[in-house]
Chain A
Amino acid sequence: MTDVTVRADDAIPAAEVEDVELYHPKSWVTKYVYCQDAKVIAIQYSLTAMAIGLVALVLSWLMRLQLAFPGSFSFIAPTDYYQFITMHGMIMVIYLLTALFLGGFGNYLIPLMVGARDMVFPYVNMLSYWIYLLAVLVLVASFFAPGGPTGAGWTLYPPQAILSGTPGRDWGIILMLASLILFIIGFTMGGLNYVVTVLQARTRGMTLMRMPLTVWGIFTATVMALLAFPALFAACVMMLFDRLLGTSFFMPSVVELGSYLQYGGGSPILWQHLFWFFGHPEVYIVALPAFGIVSDLISTHARKNIFGYRMMVWAIVAIGALSFVVWAHHMYVSGMDPNFGFFFATTTLIIAVPTAIKVYNWVLTLWRGDIHLTVPMLFALGFIVTFVNGGLTGLFLGNVVVDVPLSATMFVVAHFHMVMGVAPLLVIFGGIYHWYPKITGRMLNDRLGKFHFWITFLGAYAIFFPMHYLGLLGVPRRYYELGEMAFIPPSAATLNIFITAAALTVGAAQLVFFFNLAWSLFRGKLAGSNPWHATTLEWQTPQTPPAHGNWGKELPIVYRWAYDYSVPGAAQDFVPQNQPAATGAAA
């Protein structure tokens, strides 16, 4: 750094030179399709993610139908069930949640919230979306490939993933690995943008400690993702070699359905280490943006500053750092050196402390607030309930001995759905209800929104809360039918039917949501520029929806932190970040 002679033109913050280089759309296609504007890219990412997410949702219905009424559906053979599980899990975690939080919310909110005109490398940002789309298409193609998609489980453990006892061994696994590799390349392109935009394109006055927690959450998650995804990338490349070129990175000498194979010397546990080295941070890559967004929703709709902002920031950073040293808690019973258990149980439970602090601060923000029970706020409250529930069951599974009986049972399935399925999805919904008015200029319908919330929240709780008890009973996961088991009472089958009924109801409620999205686009109430009376910059744009370049002629200047709600003595119950200090106003 010292060898760079700083010249005058270098010293201008990137946010301000960017206007010169800003890319300008010329036609319909370059405005909406082949477009470098982060806001458009955000919408492209979100719509693609939701479309593929819908596939995963439908798969979950089919799986639930099979579990409730085993053998009643001719179109769900065991092979299909495992393909559904795998695709459902992978789509939900990677192609829906990761893409929607970082590609969707990240692209839309980062430039607006830090007061930039666009991402710093718009062209690369556009490529990021197109590669993501390609990854999704390759994934979808595997449904139509001979033999169908892979049925190896979303963890794709070798040797099973590339042997013929597993469905989709011919094409499915190859397409899955290829798609993941593409996704990671595309994500890296986007991720560089999100990080460097936060670093370099913050407008004047936007210090780190004035950033909304949403930006903190997405920023930290992106940094983590950039460092963690290479593990999955390396693992996928190596498995692709094993499958296509006959190498043995992950293959010891094994027998495939009775005949000995020409593999040897590799190690399947190596895959598990690489996979979970990515996989655990992945949980937080999804959770941290949710943490950030929900903090802003709660603060805005409770008209109160977020409680303990500094602690919230430190906790995000601490969680981000710690989550790189806990991966092996997914491998307690994998036969790795059992002494690792002491270390990983300890680190895992330590993370609970900063996480708990965040929870306390959310509920303490409600204390003595002025709570508007708007739809985004309802989703935020629902998030707190499901996240606390799922976070606490994490303390069971992180505590190594407790994990021994519970691992690989429905308890695990219930836990991770609660904490990284339902909880982040509730935040995504809350975020969409919250920012839709900025994106489209119209409000989403309130009644439909409330209906959507109650069915989704109560329904999801009804699906996953009782499921823990199936796990305690000892019902293993990834069983397409239980068959006869002496220790499982017949009442478990009744519970399975109940869970399926709840799952179908929740699924149907999502159609209401999609209808609302489409209907409100044309018929929704006009929103105005700042319907929630929020302080952050994205609500202070000269136009709604924000025009190309976001800010008109001049970039906003930031004078205060993001949470000046209900400041004593102020004229209104919020003071926007770009409002200069009035003389005599209370600090």
Chain B
Amino acid sequence: MVIALIFALIVIFSILFHFLSPWWFTPIASNWRYIDDTIIITFWITGVVFTAVVLFMSYCVYRFRHQEGRQAAYEPENRKLEWWLAIVTAFGVAAMLTPGLFVWSQFVTVPREATEFEVVGQQWQWSFRLPGKEGQLGTSDARFVSPDNPLGLNPDDPSGQDNIVIIGDDLHLPVGKPVKVLLRSIDVVHDFYVPEFRAKMDLMPGLVTHFWFTPTRTGTFEILCAGFCGIGHPQMRGNVVVDNEADYQAWLQKQQTFAQLSAPKKQ
């Protein structure tokens, strides 16, 4: 009796916790609202299943608990019931998977007009690189890394010279424009994660990975590292500032290019 009640209370407690707890997504700041929607659909479906299964279980525990003279039924199987349950489950799964795959196909198709920029990870800080006037990111390799050239840009690649390099400072992005983020690491695996943007992606040494999003509101957002990268992992922070167009251009003017950064040292 009490035992059945406790199992039922677990369900009730869980539902109350879900609706009443103050811990929930941070307000979104990108176009990936669909991801949140898919999560909510999933919450509803799984929540119903959890409630149904556990309440049914606690009912059975109450109703069929051992009492003097009770004998269990002999019921090896019930094909019809089992098939029905399997089919209903398959539909429930499909109801979660289908929207998920649609959103994923958006996630993997980068819009043509997206502008590129590069995020470079190293133990334990974020750096950024934007294409310059010519709109091209030059080549790079961990081999070229030196104190003057912390991002390892290829010094002999002309298309890299005008690239804007941001080290130890905030990244700015214009609001409302899709961006394609290229991710590169010069040491270990990191993961570029801004909770408000929902999207995240690993920085895999040896490869350049990517994802895209559109910032939808202005403000300053924290960048975390979500790929364990050694002792400094929790300290690997940064900021993205989403500006309106005018502020963004003003900021852009003040940034230095790769050529400017390495020039004085060369003399």
- Residues of A at the B interface (CB closer than 8 Å) are 78-79, 82, 151-153, 157, 159-160, 163, 165-167, 252-258, 260, 266-269, 302-305, 307-311, 333-335, 338-339, 341-342, 345-346, 349-350, 352-353, 356-357, 359-361, 363-364, 366-373, 378, 381, 384-385, 388-389, 392-393, 395-396, 399-402, 404-409, 458, 461, 465-466, 469-470, 472-474, 476, 478-483, 485-487, 489, 491-492, 495, 563, 565-568, 573
Contact A302 B234 (CB under 8 A): no
Shortest distance from the beta carbon of A283 to any chain B beta carbon, whole Å: 18
Contact B42 A404 (CB under 8 A): no
Residues in B whose Cβ lies below 8 Å from that of A371: 60-61, 64-66
Shortest distance from the beta carbon of A152 to any chain B beta carbon, whole Å: 8
Residues in B whose Cβ lies below 8 Å from that of A341: 104, 108
Among B124, B198, B233, point to the contact of A478 (Cβ < 8 A): B233
Contact B142 A253 (CB under 8 A): yes
Among B24, B35, B73, B89, point to the contact of A473 (Cβ < 8 A): B24
Contact A363 B60 (CB under 8 A): yes
Contact A268 B108 (CB under 8 A): no
Residues in A whose Cβ lies below 8 Å from that of B152: 255
Residues in A whose Cβ lies below 8 Å from that of B32: 405
Among B158-166, B189-197, B240-248, B251-259, the stretch that binds chain A is B189-197
Interface residues of B in 201-248 (CB under 8 A from A): 201-207, 209, 222, 224-235, 237
Among B15-23, B111-119, B131-139, B170-178, the stretch that binds chain A is B15-23
Contact B23 A165 (CB under 8 A): no
Residues in A whose Cβ lies below 8 Å from that of B7: 381, 385
Taken residue by residue from 72 to 113, chain B's Cβ proximity to chain A (1 for < 8 Å, 0 otherwise) reads as 111111100110011001100100110011011101100000
Contact A492 B189 (CB under 8 A): no
Contact B232 A492 (CB under 8 A): no
Among A167, A334, A372, A480, point to the contact of B66 (Cβ < 8 A): A372
Interface residue SS majority, chain B: mixed
Residues in A whose Cβ lies below 8 Å from that of B56: 363
Shortest distance from the beta carbon of A80 to any chain B beta carbon, whole Å: 10
Shortest distance from the beta carbon of A430 to any chain B beta carbon, whole Å: 15
B261 at the interface (CB under 8 A from A): no
- Give bound CA distance, A559 to B73, whole Å: 22
- Chain B interface size range: 35 or more
Nearest residue (CB) in B for A487 is: B26
Shortest distance from the beta carbon of B153 to any chain A beta carbon, whole Å: 13
Among B6, B73, B108, point to the contact of A338 (Cβ < 8 A): B108
Contact A260 B145 (CB under 8 A): yes
Residues in A whose Cβ lies below 8 Å from that of B81: 364
Interface residues of B in 3-35 (CB under 8 A from A): 3, 6-7, 10, 14, 17, 21-26, 32, 34-35
Contact A370 B66 (CB under 8 A): yes
Contact A392 B49 (CB under 8 A): yes
Known: A260-B143, A357-B82. 20 other contacts (CB 8 A): A165-B232, A252-B207, A258-B145, A260-B142, A268-B189, A308-B76, A345-B104, A349-B96, A368-B72, A371-B64, A381-B57, A384-B54, A399-B100, A401-B34, A402-B42, A407-B200, A466-B17, A476-B234, A478-B233, A480-B234
In the assembled complex, 5 residue pairs joining A and B whose CB atoms fall closer than 8 Å, in A order, are A266-B206, A352-B89, A405-B39, A480-B234, A566-B72
Most-contacted residue by chain B among A153, A352, A399 (CB, 10 A): A399
Residues in B whose Cβ lies below 8 Å from that of A333: 191, 200-202
Contact A255 B186 (CB under 8 A): yes
Contact A408 B191 (CB under 8 A): yes
Residues in B whose Cβ lies below 8 Å from that of A406: 39
Shortest distance from the beta carbon of A564 to any chain B beta carbon, whole Å: 9
- Give bound CA distance, A180 to B53, whole Å: 39
Contact B25 A157 (CB under 8 A): no
Residues in B whose Cβ lies below 8 Å from that of A479: 233-234
Contact A367 B193 (CB under 8 A): no
Shortest distance from the beta carbon of B6 to any chain A beta carbon, whole Å: 8
Contact B187 A349 (CB under 8 A): no
Among A160, A389, A482, A485, point to the contact of B189 (Cβ < 8 A): A160
Query: Beyond A363-B60, A392-B50, is A378–B3 a contact (Cβ under 8 Å)?
Result: yes
Among A166, A381, A486, point to the contact of B222 (Cβ < 8 A): A486
